[in-house]
Structure 1
Amino acid sequence: MSYARIIGTGSYLPPRIVTNRELEATVDTHDEWIVERTGIRQRHVADTETTCDLAEVAARRALEMAGKRPEDVDLIVLGTSTPDLVFPSTACLLQGRLGIAGGPAFDVNAACSGFIYALGVAHNFIKAGTSRCALVVGSEVMTRILDWNDRTTCVLFGDGAGALVLEASDEAGILSTHLHSDGKYEHLLNVSAGISRNHQLLRETGAFLQMKGNEVFKMAVNTLGRIVDETLEANQLTKAEVDWLVPHQANIRIIQATAKKLNMPMERVVVTVGEHGNTSSASIPLALDAAIRDGRIQRGDMLLLEAFGGGFTWGSALVRY
């Protein structure tokens, strides 16, 4: 049976940085409160760049690390909640940018779990033998759907992209992926309008991200705790056998709670939320690329990736890097 192994990672952050101090000048908040409650000190904001622009840079960097050419890629799965267009998909736009054609390319929208969902899909394509080299991307311009007068949400999110290249292998890399959702919680975290629902808001006032933060926090902590157990049990592993936790970067307190569930010291947790904010589906591949490139994560390490997002959606992946 074919396995899927990570052979390259890449990431990209737009150059503009907005600090908490800058936000103090426009909304009723302050740096100390944001850092204490979320761990976020700054975020990157795309001024003119699109989701596909960010994804292209991250993808090319991942291909370079992998030693692959764009024409080697036979599958692109891209997680995003902020696509360039209704259609074509951002994955198809990226495929065109890379100058390749023929293989499937499509988007996955699972909010902050989008990258884990995309990874799960690509993993199963390779296991089934229908793909040999997949490009998996998470890319977002979350700041385009923020109400910058809403201090409860505008301090949380940022823009960025991360990517990885999966290749079919006889050696196990992605050991398992676990994907879940529960749509009855849509009212707790959503964007207020779309194409076929409340579409008039798009023209009149805009459609912005809305979140009931306390409820989302409680659900995220409880749900991620359960998926840690599910993932370890499915692979007959103990907590001590996990070398690194690479979590979705939403809130430092959620990250700390998940690390505690694993009995894992924070020194073994990849944390980028302070510098990036919540980049939704881009956050895990951004963090993964950072830890691989600075040498923290080494070949052979066991990684647990996990995320929770609007839907609600949640998921995990156990990876032997």
Structure 2
Amino acid sequence: MNGIKIKGTGRCVPAKIVTNGDLAKVVETSDEWITSRTGIRHRHHCTEETHESLCLGAAKAALEKAGIAPEDIGACVVATVTAQSIVPSAACLLQRDLGLPHDIPCFDLNAACTGFLFALHTMECLLAASPRKYGLVVGCDTLSRVTNWEDRGTCILFGDGAGACVVEYREGWPSISAELGTHGSSELLSLPGLETGKRGVIAMEGTKVFKFAVEAVPYCMDRVLEKTGMTAADVDFFVFHQANARIIDLVVRKYRIPPEKYYKNIAEYGNTSAASIPLVLSELQDLEKVGPGSRALVVGFGGGLTWGGALVEFA
């Protein structure tokens, strides 16, 4: 069996912090209403920062943490739904800005909030066929730029940010055993594209998405554990997409996960879509909650509809 492990992580978020109180000046809401329903207190929104600069900041930090030079990277995948341009892709701009090799695949991947997991699995496959055995996976979204500021049900949720991982592929290492799924639907969660003639805004049926999530997360966890032959007790850390604190709390209770084995940063960042999971991974590594040999069960879900899980180890 051959697979990838996480060598280094990095993150980059905008300087501007938007509080629940700030949003209460825009729509009819309050700090208590938002916090009690989502667990979110702050989110970061771009002002001078760009999607490109966030990707670059997170990627540089991950390369430095991993101790890997740009010329050693064998592929670059950016998970995003909000790239500055369709062509060139965010990954192509990152190749230029970092000075990555010219003879490697660099492309964007759209699986909404599950995008980082789809990208990790894709990277594992790419590196299996590459002479270079390090890959760069970035999750980045600037959702504040596609938010409907008149819809209090969605504008309170989203923040901007980027997270990145440098992964290493080796023969004999276990696969991440990714479990990925898709159910095409534009009714529950959508972001219109170019056919509208202008950039659209996010539309979501919150209650239905919540119900989808509380079913999808346990399903993914069970399938990954089944694939790996492990139990929840064998996992060192559980990393969940940070969409709603109540979803995480429900899963934690269901699996009786002890507090030292999971982490929430949704209060600070809100829902950052594809950046959500790598932001958590980066903070965990900086806090030394994970290290070489640590196993993290990572689960995501989002628009598409998409869902996924994987068991990733740190090198």
Partner of 2:262: 269
Query: What secondary structure sits across from 1:312 in the alignment?
Result: strand
Provide the aligned length of Structure 1 versus Structure 2.
313
CA deviations 1:45-93 (Å, max 9, x no partner) are 0113221210100000000011111111120011000011011111001
Runs of 4+ in 1 over 3 A off after TM superposition: 127-131
Separation in structure 2 between the aligned mates of residue 4 and residue 32 of structure 1, nearest angstrom = 42
Q: 246, 250, 256: which one pairs with 2:249?
A: 256
Cα gap change, 1:173 to 1:235, in 2 (>3 Å): closer
Q: How far is 1:175 from its partner?
A: 3.0
Partner of 2:47: 47
CA deviations 1:233-284 (Å, max 9, x no partner) are 0011111111211111000011112223332123321211000000000010
The equivalences for 1:1-321 within 5 A come to 2-100=2-100, 101-129=102-130, 131-170=132-171, 172=173, 174-183=175-184, 185-191=185-191, 193-195=192-194, 197=195, 199-200=196-197, 202=198, 207-321=200-314
Separation in structure 1 between the aligned mates of residue 288 and residue 175 of structure 2, nearest angstrom = 20
- For structure 1, the 5+ residue unaligned runs are none
Contact 1:44 1:159 in 2 (8 A): yes
Separation in structure 2 between the aligned mates of residue 174 and residue 33 of structure 1, nearest angstrom = 42
Query: What secondary structure sits across from 2:304 in the alignment?
Result: coil
Contact 2:178 2:308 in 1 (8 A): yes
Query: What secondary structure sits across from 2:152 in the alignment?
Result: coil
Tell me the TM-score normalized by structure 2: 0.96
Q: How far is 1:171 from its partner?
A: 5.2
Contact 1:75 1:134 in 2 (8 A): yes
CA deviations 1:143-181 (Å, max 9, x no partner) are 000011211101000000000001122452653111110
Contact 1:44 1:158 in 2 (8 A): yes
Contact 1:245 1:259 in 2 (8 A): no
Contact 1:6 1:173 in 2 (8 A): no
Separation in structure 2 between the aligned mates of residue 82 and residue 293 of structure 1, nearest angstrom = 27
Percent sequence identity is 43
Cα gap change, 1:2 to 1:130, in 2 (>3 Å): farther
Separation in structure 2 between the aligned mates of residue 234 and residue 21 of structure 1, nearest angstrom = 45
- Please tell me the residue identity of whatever aligns with 1:71: E
With 139-148 and 173-182 compared, the bigger mean Cα shift is at 173-182
Separation in structure 2 between the aligned mates of residue 173 and residue 43 of structure 1, nearest angstrom = 36
Query: What secondary structure sits across from 2:177 in the alignment?
Result: strand
- Please tell me the residue identity of whatever aligns with 1:26: V
Separation in structure 2 between the aligned mates of residue 8 and residue 28 of structure 1, nearest angstrom = 42
- Please tell me the residue identity of whatever aligns with 1:21: G
- Please tell me the residue identity of whatever aligns with 1:62: A
- Please tell me the residue identity of whatever aligns with 1:124: C
Cα gap change, 1:252 to 1:87, in 2 (>3 Å): same
Query: What secondary structure sits across from 2:95 in the alignment?
Result: helix
Separation in structure 1 between the aligned mates of residue 128 and residue 254 of structure 2, nearest angstrom = 30
Tell me the TM-score normalized by structure 1: 0.94
Separation in structure 2 between the aligned mates of residue 254 and residue 128 of structure 1, nearest angstrom = 38
Contact 1:162 1:289 in 2 (8 A): yes
